Amino acid sequence: MKKCITASAAALALLAVTACGSGGSPAADDGTITLGFSQVGAESGWRTANTESIQQAAEDAGIDLQFSDAQQKQENQIRAIPSFIQQNVDVIAFSPVVETGWDAVLLEAQRADIPVVLTDRAIDSDDDTLYEAFLGSDFVEEGRKAGEWLVDNAEGQTNVVELQGTTGAAPAIDRQEGFAEVIADHPDIEVIATQTGDFTRSGGKEVMEAFLRSHDDIDVVYAHNDDMGLGAIEAIRAAGLEPGEDIRIITVDAVRAGMEALAEGDINFIVECNPLLGEQLMELVEQVAAGEEVPKRIEVEETTFTQEEAEAALPDRQY
Ligand code: AHR
């Protein structure tokens, strides 16, 4: 749509620039929407499923997707957004690696009249005019669900180690908060160590190995995602213990590998975080490109899985 400035006649060009400058008026060329999308990286099974969902949905919707992988670095996203502005895309969407530090670059997009949609992770800013909408999960609620399962299944004094997601990322902050809120009324449940594993399997394994070296009284692992939980399973086995029995494991995501570990009894409970955001994201992109009003916050529905529920869900699991 914004590529319409190439129209040859001056009058046409003027009309086209005016139409495109609204940040979303109808196309003056072939009507194709160009979406600049900055993804967090490829750190987890969840992220792979999310990327595939977005790429497929863009193709299905006939949206020209300009995809950029930030490799889990905020500075790469801070470089990608001005580059999308320079390309004059119709809409910018991104999943912020961390919550803070976005105001300046989003102000640039606002000044260029390019609407921004946040997907998966939200930002922490006093200025909510910097983006049109957020589409994703309620991460605090996910943390609460993890805590509630533990409260219902605790067996006396329960020492928990927490494998946190990327430091400063919304899901790491919120999942810690929701979990802490629920266990606060239960003094027999204690988080004895907490450290980031950066949402990766290798990070989860490494941190769990360190936890096992410094603590011989771990009852439960609370991992902010499946990948870190899967890494913790490897570390627990290597230490001669049985995951799921000697040390119980709670994770978040419910990607196939996590669900298989749950069905096998290596993980004890998973809180779902839905990565299949592509279709809804493309609908939102089309709406904001057309200048339509959209809800500021759209949350996706999610569930939880016990071992039996994982066994039942696995045959139809899409990711
Ligand atoms: O932001 C969503 C989180 O990011 C997922 O839970 C995690 O697996 C991913 O890396």
User: Of 166, 200, 35, nearest to 96 (Cα)?
Assistant: 166
- Higher-confidence residue of 99 and 19: namely 99
Q: Which CATH architecture has domain 29-137+275-301?
A: 3-Layer(aba) Sandwich (3.40)
What is the pTM assigned to this prediction?
Answer: 0.91
Q: How does residue 29 score in pLDDT terms, banded at 50, 70 and 90?
A: low
CATH code for the domain defined by 139-273: 3.40.50.2300
In this structure, what token pair is assigned to residue 312? Answer: 């039942």
In angstroms, the CA 124 to CA 103 distance is: 9
User: Of 159, 164, 193, nearest to 176 (Cα)?
Assistant: 164
In this structure, what token pair is assigned to residue 166? Answer: 């990327």
With a 6 Å cutoff on the Cβ, whether 53 touches ligand 1 is no
Helix axes 45-61, 256-263, angle to 10 degrees: 130
Q: Rounded to whole angstroms, what are the CA distances from 151 to 135, 141, 154, 233?
A: 30, 15, 5, 22
- How much is the average pLDDT of 123-149? 98
Q: Which of 50, 53, 120, 272 is the best mutation target for the ligand 1 pocket, counting ligand atoms within 8 Å of the beta carbon and taking the most?
A: 120
With a 6 Å cutoff on the Cβ, whether 121 touches ligand 1 is yes
Bridge partners of 271? 252, 304
Task: Tell me whether domains 29-137+275-301 and 139-273 share a fold.
Answer: yes
- pLDDT for 39 equals 98
In angstroms, the CA 244 to CA 219 distance is: 10
pLDDT digits (tens, 9 = 90+) for 213-257: 999 999 999 999 999 999 999 999 999 999 999 999 999 999 999
In angstroms, the CA 25 to CA 91 distance is: 12
- How much is the average pLDDT of 144-171? 98
- pLDDT for 30 equals 84
Q: Is the predicted pLDDT of residue 23 greater than 80, yes or no?
A: no
With a 6 Å cutoff on the Cβ, whether 65 touches ligand 1 is no
pLDDT digits (tens, 9 = 90+) for 31-71: 999 999 999 999 999 999 999 999 999 999 999 999 999 99
Domain limits, the chain: 29-137+275-301, 139-273
Q: Tokens 């096992």 label which residue?
A: 212
